């Protein structure tokens, strides 16, 4: 039986991990993800899982150990945040290019500096080109559900790629919400057993993993990896459909909120989507035809779905929770605007950076964005390609 | 796609991207024998068979197993794999291996 419980995002993800009962978990603590390995090591100590928990000396080692374990044939996961994942950077590419379906709980946190422990997406954006699948969670329920769906996606025979399930640091990871936790056996059945075809501990098949690739083979290897990524959207939807049929909650690549007749759209990811739904409702009461497109899957990017969702709007505002320092805009807007252009959707567009280092997104910020969009639609130009929301100036 | 057994011998410079193995994994042992790496060599050791006493000290010293042994006797170098490191020249007590630049 499923049950309702009051849980933080970290607790919810740790419970999903307990239900999955992975073979190996190497992890190193870093705020705000520390609680995940902490809760999980309790499960190990209490005998609730039979996972080999490896308390490594760094995140570089955590991902290295995860790669070794996964290549050996063990279902492996880890958790990290911010500079911890930055320290994994080299290994993230090794995991994906060796096609190892490792799962990671990424609790999004700002990167130093200035040093800050609160939520933004700069850690995940730093890893956006590493070949990992990236799924963003709006709230604790989604963090749990997304983690339950992680392995069926990553281990799918057409995919075999690592996956990171992202939730916003503190806002989601530490805030306690009422959520539904599914029955242990139902989750185990849904996730299934891991049965890799090729693995290093198979004595019957000598195997080399990660051989050197000369120039004559490197591009072919990359092209093959890109093909695996091309299979991901279909698999994510297939897994989501199965999830919905068993557990009743619906997930897509994106979520459209009050977009049917919207003239103005906001696009963002993560916990601010919940905040934005509230603001959309508020603005709708005032007669503004606004809507929200929440991007759930950032890698690979659902370009067609995003463009389709925005195909009828007059103007779109993309809200980025990360800086790209390119003088043009954030990473999400780059993806969204490319999607619109290539899908031949023409509308006004503006980009904003919000919420860096844990700053809140306020209604007054959203009102100012809506004013900008109306100005654009009236033929005015904005003074810059993008601007900061809620910064003192 | 390519998550199936494919011998490394079946993969060559004509292989298309979808004819490689997943993650370039190699599903068989000892494939380094098939991979010709001797071209990395800039200096070449020469085996002087007349001076060789067949003590075989050079064989385990070779980092690349490039000195074949048959019937307890070493044969000439396997130049498909010898990298020309010169260690065998240093090890030989009978000056039965010569290489430019190595005493």
Q: Which residue has the tokens 């539904």?
A: A180
Instruction: Give the C-alpha distances (Å, rounded to integers) separating B2 from A158, A160, A162, A204, B26.
Output: 9, 11, 17, 20, 12
**Cβ contact (<8 Å) for A197 and B3?**
yes
Tokens standing for A282? 């508020």
- List Cβ neighbours of A122 (8 Å cut-off, separation of 6 or more): A110, A111, A321, A322, A323, A356
Answer whether A125's CB lies under 8 Å from A331's CB: yes
Helix (H, G, I), strand (E, B) or coil at A78: strand
How much of chain A, in percent, has pLDDT values that exceed 70? 100
Distance CA A99, CA B2 (A): 11
A198 touches chain B (CB under 8 A): yes
The residue with greater pLDDT, A391 or B36, is A391
Fold exhibited by the domain B36-103: Alpha-Beta Plaits (3.30.70)
Distance CA A232, CA A244 (A): 18
Residue-wise pLDDT tens digits, A208-250? 999 999 999 999 999 999 999 999 999 999 999 999 999 999 9
Distance CA A367, CA B33 (A): 68
Confidence of residue B1 (pLDDT cuts 50, 70, 90): very low
Residue in B closest to A221 by C-alpha:
B17
Fold exhibited by the domain A254-388: Rossmann fold (3.40.50)
Domain ranges of chain A: 3-247, 254-388
**B54 to chain A, closest Cα gap in Å:** 34
The reported pLDDT for the residue numbered B6 is 79
**Cβ contact (<8 Å) for B20 and A224?**
yes
Answer whether A124's CB lies under 8 Å from A167's CB: no
Q: Which residue has the tokens 């690549």?
A: A253
B37 touches chain A (CB under 8 A): no
Distance CA A312, CA B53 (A): 87
CATH hierarchy code of domain A3-247: 3.40.50.970
Residue among B1, B16, B26 whose CB faces A207 most closely: B26
Instruction: Give the C-alpha distances (Å, rounded to integers) separating A341 from A306, A333, A348, A353.
Output: 11, 12, 11, 21
Residue-wise pLDDT tens digits, A66-103? 999 999 999 999 999 999 999 999 999 999 999 999 99
Domain ranges of chain B: 1-35, 36-103
The reported pLDDT for the residue numbered A121 is 98
**Cβ contact (<8 Å) for B17 and A97?**
no
Does the ipTM exceed 0.85? yes
A210 contacts in B (CB within 8 Å)?
23-24
Confidence of residue B4 (pLDDT cuts 50, 70, 90): low
Residue among B20, B29, B31 whose CB faces A220 most closely: B20
Confidence of residue B101 (pLDDT cuts 50, 70, 90): confident
Tokens standing for A288? 């503004």
Predicted TM-score (pTM) of the model is: 0.93
Distance CA A295, CA A364 (A): 23
SS (H, E, C) A334-380: HHHHHHHHHCCCCCEEEEEECCHHHCCCCHHHHHHHHHHHHHHHCCC
User: What is the arithmetic mean of pLDDT over A145-164?
Assistant: 98
Residue-wise pLDDT tens digits, B42-86? 999 999 999 999 999 999 999 999 999 999 999 999 999 999 999
**Cβ contact (<8 Å) for B24 and A197?**
no
Residue-wise pLDDT tens digits, A174-187? 999 999 999 999 99
Q: Which residue has the tokens 């098949």?
A: A205
B3 contacts in A (CB within 8 Å)?
157, 160, 197-198
**Cβ contact (<8 Å) for A227 and B28?**
no
Residue in B closest to A207 by C-alpha:
B27
B16 contacts in A (CB within 8 Å)?
220
């Amino acid at each position: 039986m499923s049950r309702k419980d009051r849980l933080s995002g970290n607790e919810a993800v740790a419970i999903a991990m307990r239900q999955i009962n992975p073979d190996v978990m190497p992890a190193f603590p870093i705020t705000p993800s520390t609680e995940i390995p902490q809760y999980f090591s309790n499960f190990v100590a209490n005998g609730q899982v039979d996972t080999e928990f490896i308390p490594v000396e760094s995140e570089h080692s955590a991902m290295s150990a995860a790669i070794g374990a996964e290549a050996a044939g063990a279902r492996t996961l880890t958790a990290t945040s911010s500079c911890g994942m930055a320290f994994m950077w080299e290994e993230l590419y090794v995991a994906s290019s060796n096609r190892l379906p490792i799962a990671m709980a990424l609790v999004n946190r700002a990167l130093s500096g200035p040093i800050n422990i609160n939520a933004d997406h700069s850690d995940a954006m730093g890893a956006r080109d590493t070949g990992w699948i990236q799924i963003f969670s709006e709230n604790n329920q989604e963090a749990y559900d997304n983690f339950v769906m992680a392995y069926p996606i990553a281990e799918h025979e057409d995919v075999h790629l690592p996956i990171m399930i992202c939730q916003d640091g503190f806002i989601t990871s530490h805030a306690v919400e009422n959520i539904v936790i599914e029955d242990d056996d139902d989750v185990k059945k849904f996730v299934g057993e891991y049965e890799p075809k090729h693995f290093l501990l198979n004595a019957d098949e000598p195997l080399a993993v990660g051989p050197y690739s000369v120039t004559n083979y490197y591009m072919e290897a990359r092209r093959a990896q890109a093909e695996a990524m091309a299979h991901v959207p279909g698999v994510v939807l297939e897994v989501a459909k199965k999830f919905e049929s068993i557990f009743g909650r619906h997930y897509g690549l994106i979520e459209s909120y009050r977009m049917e007749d919207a003239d103005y759209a906001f696009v963002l990811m993560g916990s601010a989507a919940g905040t934005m739904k509230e603001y959309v409702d508020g603005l709708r009461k005032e007669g503004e035809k606004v809507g929200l497109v929440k991007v759930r899957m950032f890698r690979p990017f659902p370009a067609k779905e995003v463009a389709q969702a925005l195909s009828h709007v007059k103007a779109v505002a993309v809200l980025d929770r990360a800086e790209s320092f390119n003088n043009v805009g954030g990473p999400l807007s780059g993806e969204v605007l490319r999607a619109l252009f290539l899908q031949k959707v023409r509308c006004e567009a503006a980009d904003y950076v919000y919420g860096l280092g844990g700053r809140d997104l306020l209604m007054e910020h959203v009102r100012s964005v809506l004013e900008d969009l109306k100005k654009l639609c009236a033929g005015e130009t904005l003074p810059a390609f993008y601007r900061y929301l809620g910064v003192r100036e | 796609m390519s998550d199936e057994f494919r011998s490394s011998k079946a993969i060559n410079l004509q292989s298309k991207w979808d004819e490689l193995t997943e993650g370039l994994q190699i599903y068989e042992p000892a494939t380094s024998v098939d991979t010709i790496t001797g071209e990395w060599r800039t200096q070449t050791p020469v085996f002087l068979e007349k001076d060789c006493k067949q003590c075989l000290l050079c064989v385990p010293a070779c980092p690349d197993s490039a000195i074949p042994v048959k019937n307890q006797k070493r044969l000439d170098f396997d130049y498909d794999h010898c990298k020309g490191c010169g260690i065998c020249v240093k090890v030989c007590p009978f000056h039965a291996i010569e290489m430019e630049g190595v005493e």
